[in-house]
Structure 1
Amino acid sequence: MKTLVIYTYPNHKSLNYAFLQKIIKGSNENPNIKELQVLDLYEEKFDPLLVFSEHKRRRDMYRDPRIEKYRTQITWADKIVFVYPIWWGRPPAMLMGYIDQLFSANFAYRDKKGLLPEGLLKGKSVVCVSTMKGPTKYPLLWLNNAHKILMKKALFSFVGIKRVKFFEFGNMESLKGKQTKKLEKIYLYFKRVDR
């Protein structure tokens, strides 16, 4: 299994970075994970802005040479892991800008007759590891599960990815947030995952 981890947090002295380190440690100890790549969007200085003009059109994003290396990473990966905070009920703008550019027509999906397109990323799996200040049940009870619906139905299902696993960790700024236990949970998951 080839695994791509996309890390989206601007601080390497953070809990999100600690989760990233546990993912790397568990993956390196897992015989099912043959190769691992990490993409740190902030360290990479990824430009999340979409710019369209008469020379650069939305329908041509799948050929944009500026993001070819990122398309190559997604094509290469069997499993894509996203590590990010939930801010205002959704992933950060940096990650959404990456998604807007990478999960484009004729790369991630192809329009066809009918209501839904053909997903071109079939066979891949996704894991979302997200943290938030509020309670774990906040997205479910207050926001009608908007985060998971956005990621699973509006994005991953649309591009053909059916296997999606979520770890939504709440109360992460609290002294009673059980951070050590949650870090261990992530480490053990990536040490043992087999697809």
Structure 2
Amino acid sequence: MIVSIILGHPDPQSFNHAIAAIAQRTLLDMGCEARLHDLCAEGFDPVLPATETARDAVLSPLVEQHCREIREADGLIIVHPNWWGMPPAVMKGWIDRVLRPGVAYAFLPGDGGEGVPVGLLKPMRAMVFNTSNTPTQREQDVFGDPLERLWRDCVLCFCGVRAVTRRMFSVICTSTPEQRAAWLSEVSENVRREFSPTAAA
């Protein structure tokens, strides 16, 4: 099984990096091929240039690699913080440039883009891990957890991914080392469960 791990956080010492690392280690221990992409470390440019908007556009080598790997993936893990109810710019840019027409979705013949597309990604399981400094109850009551809607309904379902699980860890800024260790154990357990050979996509 090939699982792509896409990490969007600028600080190598962040808890997001710890989440991505334990997810990768768990997958490797399971015998999976875990392809970890630290977008900031790679220098992934989040800006979608006009020259890339066409379906048959010539892509940069890095974007082409990401497109190829997302087509090959049997599973996907997304890791990023909650910033203003949104992913960081580098993660949004990855969505814009990689989950592109002809790679992640396509419109039916005769549909000029106004209809509902067909998802092109393999039937797969996807996991989204987020971090936040907002208490969970306040996130739900005041903001309505926009990242849940974004990833499940607006991005992954659009690309054909139906089996999506998501976990928000908070409050990061006041968490103890013991709490973080427990969270990382939870990440490992969840990854092992979701990507076990018996898990159905």
Instruction: Structure 2 unaligned segments of length 5 or more: list them.
Output: none
Could you say which residue in structure 1 is the equivalent of 2:107? 111
Q: How does 1:44-83 map to 2 (within 5 A)?
A: 44-52=42-50, 56=51, 58-60=53-55, 63-66=58-61, 67-83=63-79
Taking a change above 3 Å as real, the CA distance of residues 6 and 16 of structure 1, as seen in their structure-2 partners, is same
Taking a change above 3 Å as real, the CA distance of residues 63 and 14 of structure 1, as seen in their structure-2 partners, is same
Does residue 172 of the first structure (1) align with residue 172 of the second (2)?
yes
Could you say which residue in structure 2 is the equivalent of 1:186? 187
Alignment partner of 1:101 out of 75, 92, 97: 97
Q: For 2:92 and 2:21, how far apart are their aligned partners in 1?
A: 23
SS of equivalent residue, structure 1 residue 18: helix
* 1:63 to partner: Cα distance: 4.6
Q: Deviations over 1:105-152 (max 9, x none)?
A: 122111124831111114022111110111123432222231111111
Could you say which residue in structure 2 is the equivalent of 1:90? 86
Question: How many pairs were matched up?
Answer: 190
Q: For 1:97 and 1:120, how far apart are their aligned partners in 2?
A: 19
Instruction: Structure 1 unaligned segments of length 5 or more: list them.
Output: none
Q: Deviations over 1:50-78 (max 9, x none)?
A: 121xxx25123665244211111101111
Could you say which residue in structure 2 is the equivalent of 1:123? 123
Taking a change above 3 Å as real, the CA distance of residues 191 and 159 of structure 1, as seen in their structure-2 partners, is closer
SS of equivalent residue, structure 2 residue 173: coil
Could you say which residue in structure 1 is the equivalent of 2:37? 39
* 1:176 to partner: Cα distance: 5.4
Identity of aligned residues (%): 24
Amino acid across the alignment from 2:190: Y
Q: For 2:130 and 2:138, how far apart are their aligned partners in 1?
A: 13
CA RMSD of aligned residues (A): 1.9
